[in-house]
Structure 1
């Protein structure tokens, strides 16, 4: 059940730290937020300045490839926002990845991620979809006009969902036409929060 969909300010364009762990807890004015899931596509490690292809059905770290193929981008190939790697949702064609994690029923969860696009090929407008438990949750749209490997132009995107069970499946899909140069995502974080803090 979806509660709200909202954008967020731009994210930092380059990162250099290690991966996040899903035990992080931050306090925010009205209550406590805890991380249910966090991943920056740092596993498996890809050789610097290259990328690795993963096809539907394969496991890629904690993610499962759900649609055709994706490219996991290694360090220094282009900018990342968390750690040194990121994910192009297109491999040779439109791809997708999904992950499942534990949640508490009737709690609100804020999903956030950093979004850019592969600047190496057209079209300039990269499109995709985020699904939660198979239901559409947010459209992905990113314009790569004026962007480059050294200036990816990442923006922070977010939306809020209400958990109705003890687990949640989060999926990112590319719908870019033609496929091959898709949306790029990094720093996916899902936080449990009081509803007033999520909106």
Structure 2
């Protein structure tokens, strides 16, 4: 009898411990619920080396969602990344949009920075797009691929700030150029601003 009580108590402790170790709540699809901006270099999942993975609306790239059109997740070795191994062409078979939602503190200013280049494979020289916060355009961007190659992408830094309006904010990047050769983004970072930020 006493062994059974001890056994039940140990089992209860193990269950409680497992629950405590489970960490953040998980979404229905099994992914960890994100509380902060994550994977701005598009490192997960891995695209094939020296190739790319086409993705369409409704599919995900780690914490990012493809919300419109199509994009290409560029694998290591296909072309030069700005940071890490992978990057994202905002045009797959046509223009696309990716978005990530993350927790924010209302009234707090945040800085968004990212590396911008363009697919040098063809099409018009100018690659254009927009960065949006909660669906509102915060920055138009453009990149001229003239003279650029896969080994010399010529990434440039872009930055803007926004004031969070709610407890969750959605950052999106969208291409505004047609065709299969779009703007390329990498090394996206979101940071809470200090008083001197801006």
Fold agreement, TM-score > 0.5: yes
Confirm or deny: 8 A CA contact 2:37 2:101 kept in the other structure. Answer: no
Query: Once the two structures are superposed, what CA deviation does each residue of 1:112-140 show, in whole Å capped at 9, x if it has no partner?
Result: 00000000011110001111001000002
Q: Distance in 2 between matches of 1:125 and 1:106?
A: 36
Q: Distance in 2 between matches of 1:106 and 1:49?
A: 43
- Aligned partner of 2:188 in structure 1 is 188
- Aligned partner of 1:96 in structure 2 is 97
- How far is the alpha carbon of 1:36 from its aligned partner? 4.2
More helix by share: 2
Q: Distance in 2 between matches of 1:163 and 1:42?
A: 26
SS of the equivalent of 1:156 reads strand
- Aligned partner of 1:145 in structure 2 is 146
Confirm or deny: 8 A CA contact 1:107 1:194 kept in the other structure. Answer: no
Aligned pairs, how many? 163
- How far is the alpha carbon of 1:194 from its aligned partner? 2.2
For residues 8-47 of structure 1, what are the structure 2 equivalents within 5 Å?
Answer: 36-38=36-38, 39-47=40-48
Confirm or deny: 8 A CA contact 1:36 1:192 kept in the other structure. Answer: no
- Aligned partner of 1:165 in structure 2 is 166
Question: RMSD value over aligned CA atoms?
Answer: 1.2
Query: Once the two structures are superposed, what CA deviation does each residue of 1:82-141 show, in whole Å capped at 9, x if it has no partner?
Result: 110000000010011000000011110000000000000111100011110010000020
- Aligned partner of 1:22 in structure 2 is none
Larger Rg: 2
SS of the equivalent of 1:37 reads coil
Displaced runs of 4+ in structure 1, greater than 6 A? none
- How far is the alpha carbon of 1:196 from its aligned partner? 2.0
SS of the equivalent of 1:68 reads strand
Query: Once the two structures are superposed, what CA deviation does each residue of 1:10-36 show, in whole Å capped at 9, x if it has no partner?
Result: xxxxxxxxxxxxxxxxxxxxxxxxx94
TM-score by length of 1: 0.80
- Aligned partner of 1:130 in structure 2 is 131
